[in-house]
Amino acid sequence: MPPGVSMFNGNLNIRPTNCQVPDTGFSLPAGWDLQIHPQGWVYFYNASKRIVADDNIRDPDVLHALDTYIVTYPLSEIGHDMEICIPGSPSPGDYFRTLVVNHTHCVASYLIEEARSETIRIVEPYLLNRRRRLYWNYIQWHPCHVPLLPTAELEVREALTWYHVDNVVSGHRSIVPFSKAECEDLSRALKRLKGDINERSVARTVFLSWILREIWSFRDAEDYGRRTLRDSSKYRAVRSMQRPVNDVTTPLYISLPLEYIVDIMFFAIPRTYVAHVKAATEYQGRLSNMQERWEVYIRRLVQQYQDFLLIATVLLSATIGFLDIDGIGAVAKAAGIVSTFASLGSITVGVFFVWIHQSNSHRSTFAYVHNAHHGALGLLGHAMFLSLPAVFLVWGVIAFTVGFIAYTVQDTHDSDNNEAKAAWASLGVSILVLVLVSAGLYTFSLIWQLQSRSSMFEGWNRRRRTEDILDICCISPNIPAW
């Protein structure tokens, strides 16, 4: 029997803790004690009838309604190690809202039969997950009148140890309810609360109850204690496979021109941003991991925009200097003007994108992801806007190159042979540099594309190998299925 709990005439007698207020100045009904939660609200406990009430029974009308309900409730079916929590504004005969609590087995249910000790001993363990979650949720909000079982802290430490191990082994794929850092923080808090002084602390009871509620909520969702090793391995393998995000279907008359615009006018740059957004917003087991990846993505995006701003500023200065040259031709001048406006566009959009992403970097990602996927142009259209600083910069460089070559070509028709030769030499060097730059850009773009495809095929082959291993495990039970 836990400390603070004793048996008297076959009934459970729970001694009140320091949280009880015996002399409150209020007119409490006979047999009822007022309990104050650490957060400040009150509830009422009747030790003789083993009843907890959340309504203000100091109001005579509320007390009369409660007594009417209690008279109709089958209290004789409540065991000596059980109690009931009556909801607000109870109606006679409405028993399905009354929570039945079993302190011996740490379970709670809205059905009396499910909370009986005799039923709990013969039921499958995984069926108790939800009842234990209900129990610890009840203790979290009603911690004052019952002492915490000594095994509660041991259960918390055991679960936190495993969650810490799972975070180390599984990494960002871990789906346990607490991250590695959270496990370490909770373990340190438990160590500080250890001691005789804190053993009867109501705040400690609330703290442990909250952790246990999260533990059993996770176990209930995972069907803890139900699957065998092979079944669990197959279930985890299927769940770990990446599922594509279902984008809103864009009409063909929009998506088809959009594809050509992206590949030709935007140089396929938005496709890179699509991949980055999908990788940053992919759910891989825990929402906190997704938020962390999102913040890393935002920092990287802001750094890219800052680099584009620096290059665009240099290009703008060079273009203005180019336009100031005497005797510049019409084609070169037009190309210089286009380069100027493209550089200004890259700078303007880049500055705004840096500001808007930095100011919202720590906000929730869900609204952003939802709007990006459900926009009029879909995720690809959103990526087109993200790529505008880079696209404007590329067009600015192209226009500046065209203008410089046009200016060089116009001197090849000079009557002075030396001037013409110098112009041809400059034109040849410019064309050589242009060819080398184009070859370098094409080569490295092709290398990354091939690596991406290879990674995709490798992931597909690895998935096939995993399925083959799982099939073998299903045939041979002696082979581990990890």
Contact 291, 365 (CB under 8 A): yes
3-state secondary structure of 24: coil
**What is the torsional sign of CA 142, 147, 150, 153?**
positive
pTM score: 0.61
Mean pLDDT per segment of 10 residues, for the chain of length 482 residues? 39 44 64 93 93 92 91 90 89 86 94 91 89 95 90 93 91 84 91 74 92 93 88 77 54 81 90 87 68 85 94 95 88 93 95 90 75 83 93 94 85 64 76 81 68 47 50 42 38
Helix (H) / strand (E) element for 12: namely: strand 11-14
Strands (E), 50-93: 51-53, 82-86
Residue 235's pLDDT is 80
36, 42 Cβ separation under 8 angstroms? yes
Sequential DSSP letters for 362-430: TS-SHHHHHHHHSSTTHHHHHHHHHTHHHHHHHHHHHHHHHHHHHHHHHGGG-SSHHHHHHHHHHHHHH
| Stretch (H or E) spanning 114 | helix 112-115
Helix/strand/coil (H/E/C) assignment for every residue in 229-254: HHHHHHHHHHHHCCCCCCCCCCCHHH
pLDDT at residue 480 in the model: 40
Pairing of β 51-53 and β 82-86: parallel
Token pair 């210089």: residue: 336
Q: Put the strands of the sheet holding 82-86 in their side by side order.
A: 32-36, 42-46, 51-53, 82-86, 99-102, 107-109
Give the CA distances from residue 40 to residues 19, 88, 137, in Å, rounded to whole numbers and listed in that order: 11, 18, 17
pLDDT at 454: 46
